[in-house]
Chains A and B, each alone.
Chain A
């Protein structure tokens, strides 16, 4: 069965600093990988996804994630964060034939001025 581990439950960082949110997954089959962001009292919004092709994927607001098959990781990075990036970030995987999303427990990113 697939599982997703987000190693950090909370990440505090100062504005304009770089950040990395870690995600590891377990799956014996090919996977699709996703990062979703959840702002307070809102639903989940897709940030970026890896389906196939280039292992480095980018979002429109400066985040990027790299699929590393050998390390079974899909870490999310941003070189310079803004206050508005404060939110909870969820890593998720689809594996197997069912197509069900399996989520990690989330990482709360708190950007301080």
Chain B
């Protein structure tokens, strides 16, 4: 069974540019999560989807971050415009439902110059 797929694995952009990350969860997993992991820190939740509905986006900086999961399967996280402080690893995870074990993708490492 394929795991959580993320692309790209690495991205380097200049500040003020837009950037997008893509995630395809494990087949059959209804819940999808986006996490931000800063250097030396544990992951922090940005947004959680139950199917296509964002049920918890309280930690998503909505002035520059947006996310969508239109058909309840894969998801895109966007930053526009990117700032230097956005340099981090963006992790996607999925689970069969809330409170179930979460499985993580390899992450996208973003560097903003």
Of the A-B pairs whose beta carbons lie under 8 Å apart in the complex, a sample of 11, sorted by A's number, is: A9-B40, A46-B103, A90-B43, A94-B99, A100-B48, A100-B56, A101-B33, A101-B45, A103-B43, A103-B44, A105-B42
Q: Is the interface of A mostly helix, strand, loop or mixed?
A: strand
Give B contacts to A, CB under 8 Å. Answer: 4, 6, 31, 33, 40-45, 48, 56, 91, 93, 98-107, 109
* B56, A98: Cβ atoms closer than 8 Å: yes
Contacts A105-B41, A106-B41, A106-B42 hold; do A43 and B91 have CB atoms under 8 A apart?
yes
Q: How far is the CB of A52 from chain B (nearest CB, A)?
A: 12
8 nearest A-B residue pairs (beta carbon):
A103-B42, A99-B98, A99-B99, A43-B104, A44-B104, A43-B106, A43-B107, A90-B42
Q: CA–CA, A36 to B104, complex, Å?
A: 10
